Amino acid sequence: AALRADPASVAVAGAGGGTLDHIILGLMLRALGRQAREARFVAFPGGGPSMAAVLGGQVQAAISGWSEFAEQVKSGRVRALATTGERRLDPAVPTLRESGLDVVATNWRGVFAAPGIRPEARQALVTLMTDLHALPVWGRLLAERGWDDAFLTGPALDAFLERDRAQTEAVLKELGLA
């Protein structure tokens, strides 16, 4: 409620200006009908220092990867308010969408090649990654780390990248960082 009424009254920690943490806060404010630049984002060099700031009362909230805060949540030292993905990472913690904010943002990874890659070399990379994705160890590692399976190739990947680029660019422009 405070974030909606007066975003500047809520200090939110995250890892560096212009990072995914900062962008997520901007997306949240936009979903609340506010401007990303209204955020009171306090940049720290990572999740550990951000958590220390929450525990020390220097900020009211923090945004970071689940693995950075999971132990503090499990111990009861902090309360997880929401996660930013499509699905819950913990049964007791809703997603932002479930909490009423139409925001989905994830820290994804990709395999990229030079623009002039030959079509057969590109297809070999796609096939290799698709084969690796099908291995049981891939699924085990996702489960162990609490990661979403966001494997995409071809047109689905192209569409995802364009959506991600557009939402990231919009927030960064609002913040004066692009």
Provide the 3-class DSSP secondary structure of residue 61. Answer: strand
Domain ranges of the chain: 2-106
Alpha helices in the chain (DSSP H): 2-5, 20-31, 47-55, 66-75, 119-134, 136-145, 154-174
Is residue 175 predicted with pLDDT exceeding 90?
yes
pLDDT tens, position by position, 107-163: 899 999 999 999 999 999 999 999 999 999 999 999 888 788 999 999 999 999 999
**pLDDT at residue 139, rounded to an integer:** 95
Answer whether 0.85 is exceeded by the pTM.
yes
Confidence of residue 102 (pLDDT cuts 50, 70, 90): very high
Q: Does domain 2-106 have CATH number 3.40.190.10?
A: yes
> Do residues 171 and 34 lie in contact, with contact meaning Cβ atoms separated by under 8 Å?
no
Q: Which residues make Cβ contacts (< 8 Å) with residue 17, sequence separation at least 6?
A: 41, 43, 175, 177
pLDDT tens, position by position, 45-77: 999 999 999 999 999 999 999 888 989 999 999
